[in-house]
Amino acid sequence: MGIASTIVLILVVLVVGVAMGGYVISLYNSLIQVKNNIEKAWNNIDVLLQQRHDELPKLIDAVRGYMEHEKSVLEKITKLRVGYDEAASIEEKTKIENQLNREVARMRHVWESYPDLKSSQNFIQLMGRISALESSIADRREFFNDSVNIYNIQIERFPEMFLARMMSYQKHPFLEVPVETRQDVKIKI
């Protein structure tokens, strides 16, 4: 083997090494991008969730007199709000928010049986504010869940899955829509 063939072999090994290194860097940057997209989407939704969490105590105070025997629902919502404020990660906040959504949906079904409450001006204003926030949250939930879906797919795709495991990336939970809110609304005339 001559010097020329050795130089060609070294150049081929270098080119292949640089190409492989570039590919790994590309995979790494792609994983970082999808992870950061989840954080960006969460930060966008977190603003609205915080506003809703700030409105919930007012709503709870407005319905407290009517819902004395459903006290456990009100207590759960209060505990979940505190847990949300104390949660350190997006995953924890997502899980708590999913539980909170279920409890708020349960509370909505309960107050449907209180006609006096539904005619209270304070209650109507609070429900209007929370309904507007819920609509905005629904829009941002869709973007957040799209970001989570892309992330979850990417960390399970071959060969990204190996790099994702080395980086300790785990599947991320979606923000769920409570089953109660997916049911048909019964309109009473």
pLDDT for 30 equals: 94
For the chain, give the mean pLDDT.
83
Considering the four listed CATH numbers 2.40.160.40, 3.30.450.40, 2.60.40.10, 1.20.1440.20, the one that applies to the domain covering 29-180 is 1.20.1440.20
Write down the pTM of the prediction: 0.68
Q: Work out the pLDDT band at 189, boundaries 50, 70, 90.
A: very low
Residue boundaries of the structural domains of the chain = 29-180
Q: What is the DSSP string of the chain?
A: --HHHHHHHHHHHHHHHHHHHHHHHHHHHHHHHHHHHHHHHHHHHHHHHHHHHHHHHHHHHHHTTTTGGGHHHHHHHHHHHHHHHH--SHHHHHHHHHHHHHHHHHHHHHHTT-HHHHT-HHHHHHHHHHHHHHHHHHHHHHHHHHHHHHHHHHHHSTTHHHHHHHTT----PPPPPPHHHHSPPPPP-
At 35-72, the pLDDT tens digits run 999 999 999 888 888 888 888 777 777 776 666 656 77
pLDDT for 175 equals: 85
> Who wins on pLDDT, 88 or 117?
88
Q: Which of 6-10, 66-70, 74-78, 118-122 has the lowest mean pLDDT?
A: 66-70
Q: Which of 21-25, 51-55, 172-176 has the lowest mean pLDDT?
A: 51-55
> Who wins on pLDDT, 188 or 76?
76
